[in-house]
Amino acid sequence: MERVDATDFVWKRFAFNHPLFILFSSGTTGKPKCIVHGAGGTLLEHLKEHRLHCDLRTGERMYFHTSCAWMMWNWQLSALATGTEVITFDGSIATVDILWRLVADLRVTVFGTSPTYLKMCEQAGLVPSQRFDLSHLRTILSTGAVLYDSQFFWVRDNVKSLPLCSISGGTDILGCFVLGNPNLPVVDGELQSKSLALGVQSWTDGREADGVGQLVCINPFPSRPLGFVDDPSGARFHSAYFEANPGVWTQGDFIEMTPAGGARLHGRTDGVLNVRGINVGPAEIYRVLDKIPGIGEALAVQLHVERRDGPIDDSAPRSSDQRIVLLITLREGEVLTGELRKQIRTDLARGASIAHVPDIILAVAALPTTHSGKLSEIAAREAINGLAVTNAAALRNPQCLQAIKEAIHQYQTEPVVPSSCVSLENVESYLQTVWERAFGFAPIEPYENFFELGGDSLLAVSLLADLAETTGHDLPLSTLSSAPTIAALGALLRADSSGILSPVLVRLRPGEGNPIFIVHGASGTVMGCWTLAQALHTPRPVYGLQALGLDGQQIPQQRIEHMAATYIEAMRTVQRAGPYALAGYSLGGLVAIEIAQQLHRVGERIELVCLLDTYVHERRLPWVAWTEFQLGYARRQYGALRDLSSPQKIAYLRDKWTAAADRVRLRLGHPARRTDPAVAGLDVPPVLMRVRESMRLAMSVYRPLRYNGGPIIYVRAQRFEDRGDPLPVWRRVAACGLTIIRVQGSHTEMMSAPHVHEVAMALGSLAAISSD
């Protein structure tokens, strides 16, 4: 170069959209996309992110641990434009502390890493601040996966107190949608802000969501890629990013915008598990598992299980059940014991919800990982279901797929105790085998609780049906509420005492004094109230009241008034006279207030009426509240129709017309022709569905009357967006006053940990006050 005259050199000028990079997406969700990025938009976006969001300065040193195959390599190169020195490392992580040693020895000021590496350091017990001089380090950037709350605290306590900035975008835009902000505080579990000038929002059903939704960008942005290679019409490019929401870039991630302007990521949209009609986000599963020692990495995927609807022969119609399979790797020396399986299930039930509890837990040596270091849920899902893996070429360890296939095959072919071998003498051994297979782990001890293990009404129906077939004892669904362990259930069967169990009254917890009665929700069963009953801070016994018809023999009642009369008769078998303490969850609140009305009319004293987030039918709302609800409904329908094509609009309106006809039938006291949309698509047994439809009809025709028997307590969770506000109705009904207690969590979350403890504290203290 010294021999060349510098005055003869000419910098060639290119167009703003001249191609700069061609990058392949990681392949975590399918075949990698070949994406063309333009020079002007890419470099402009990078300069903004480096200068303004990452606060890179002249003379600083940045090291980002990345390979050349990952977009972060290209992203870090652009940092040279800020005057920052870029350090690269040609080597592997031979020891867990090697990157911290590099940061210390080279006086790195900005260190880029991943949640995986931080977790590796945490599990190794590494304390970098005690081993290395990190005085020059002022910022840590993390990307590649969700950075969980606990990892923020680990960095603070073991590295130093500095900004830990979680950043997220993708190869698709070669940049970030959400990232750091040097002017804002760091909140554990959150990304600090949206990228400047990018209209990042959370969307659901084509409009902005008030919680978790799809990550979209509603405005054009310079770093939008030029397109795909060999896609001259742009059809594949448009399908990838603009098909889900016409005219709006849709990234394929779930995001939640926080009130302070930050964001939380909840995983990929194509990784959502739909199990028995309930959408389960894997990110919430991983967030809980991150706190369990011994677990390395995890993938939760969906397994399709073929079943025959009828006799077990080839002529029976076939359908498919969905199951959650949790694949985990373990730290060196750890073993997937029954105790660890139990901890996983109970922690998920308490830290997330029952829906997040996996059906099957398998330990494998490795999980499918792309060349850029990302775990591939689609590869694991296809391997679990015995399908050809579409993105095998994008994996750096495709050999692990065969081990995953063998693990699920071994699980599915484990022998089951034949029903012909079951007798009352060995029924506990049989119960243990059935429970262990149903819950997906072993051993389950005789005194472990069905509900604490993650059991629900759907699993209970399956277990009791199995028992009826093998032992001849047709037990009501309430059995597991009063006998929730293998030992208790075995003793019940040997004593042949199933006939004395009430189909309506269920003892949820023993105690002393007058009982507290809790009425079921819309499902008709009090199983969902079991956790609340155990969490109550009161010495009093707790009984559950559940619907007739759960045994499949009696006809479900279709009027709230009839239910109340039946339940009062059952209540008097354990408490002949008042004062009575009543609580009702969801629809059960309507029954509870009707029980109070009927008891008050015959002169009984009511010490407590507590409605746990009880809604009323919108036709019962006062005029102002009804008008507000109808206007909101019209706005939602317009928003849903606005972006539909003409054929889609016709289908949508036809569906709404059918729903309107059902509403008329319900108001006239006739059952709906279609299943309740709240449970449509769920794999609900017919006996439970009949009860639920009866509850739906009962709610539609019930009119709460003014109550003079005492004050009403209303425990309110987060309000449903698509339901009318019930508080104006309850203020009108409560002649002696209405007290409102607000709790965290949604309508369903309030009945499970951690929010149920707040509900229990409120209900328990009210029961204590009312009994004094």
Closest Cα partner for 100 from 126, 125, 138, 67?
Answer: 126
Within-domain flag for 715: yes
Q: Is the same domain home to 89 and 231?
A: yes
**Is residue 388 domain-resident?**
yes
Higher pLDDT, 588 or 268: 588
Dist CA 373 CA 395 (whole Å) = 9
- Domain contains 432: no
Is position 471 within any domain?
no
pLDDT in tens, 620-637: 888 888 888 888 888 877
Does the pLDDT of residue 507 top 80, yes or no?
yes
DSSP letter (8 states) at residue 360: E
If you average pLDDT over residues 413-428, what whole number do you get? 55
Q: Which residues pair with 64 in a beta bridge?
A: 112
Is 190 inside a domain boundary? yes
Q: Which residue, of 412, 430, 448, is where some domain finishes?
A: 412
Average pLDDT of the chain is 84
- DSSP letter string over 224-250? ---EETT-TT-HHHHHHHTSSSTTSEE
State whether 127 and 162 are in the same domain.
yes
pLDDT in tens, 148-205: 888 999 999 999 999 999 999 989 999 999 999 999 999 998 999 999 999 999 998 8
pLDDT tens digits for range 37-83: 999 999 999 999 999 999 999 999 999 998 887 889 999 999 999 99
Contact 301/286 with Cβ under 8 angstroms? no
Q: What percent of the chain has pLDDT over 90?
A: 39
Which of 412, 437, 464 is where one domain is finished?
412
- 163 with 294, same domain? no
CB 288 within 8 A of CB 358: no
146 and 280 inside one domain: no
The whole domain housing 343 covers 272-412
Strand partners, 543: 507, 517
- CATH at residue 733: 3.40.50.1820
Specify the range with the lowest mean pLDDT, choosing from 424-428, 434-438, 536-540, 656-660. 424-428
Alpha-helix residue ranges (DSSP H) falling in 64-195: 71-77, 98-105, 115-123, 128-131, 149-158
Domains in the chain: how many in total?
A: 3
Percentage of residues of the chain with pLDDT beyond 70: 89
pLDDT in tens, 381-396: 889 988 888 878 888 8
Confidence of residue 491 (pLDDT cuts 50, 70, 90): confident
3-state secondary structure (DSSP) of residue 475: coil
**Shared-domain flag, residues 79 and 162:** yes
Q: What is the mean pLDDT of residues 707-726?
A: 88
CA distance 528 to 750: 11
The C-alpha angle 475, 478, 482, rounded to 5 degrees, equals 105
One domain for residues 84 and 195: yes
Same domain, 601 and 546: yes
Is there a domain that residue 150 lies in? yes
Residues 729 and 770 in one domain: yes
**Distance separating alpha carbons of residues 162 and 182, to the nearest angstrom:** 11
8, part of any domain: no
- Same domain? For 239 and 278 the reply is no
Residue 148, domain CATH: 3.40.50.12780
pTM of the predicted model, to two decimals?
0.56
Q: Are residues 187 and 285 in the same domain?
A: no
Distances (CA, A) of 157 to 152, 163, 389: 9, 13, 42
Q: Which helix (H) or strand (E) holds 110?
A: strand 110-113
- The pLDDT, as a whole number, for residue 322 is 73
| Domain-terminating residue out of 396, 412, 428 | 412
- Give the tens place of pLDDT for each residue, 466-481: 777 666 677 777 677 7
Q: Are residues 606 and 719 in the same domain?
A: yes
Judged against a pLDDT cut of 50, whether residue 292 lies above it is answered with: yes
Joined together, the tokens standing for residue 253 give 């991630």
Q: Give, as one character, the DSSP assignment of residue 275.
A: E
- The answer to whether position 508 is within a domain reads yes
Whether residues 344 and 398 fall in one domain: yes
Q: Residue 452: CA atoms inside 13 Å, Cβ hemisphere, count?
A: 14
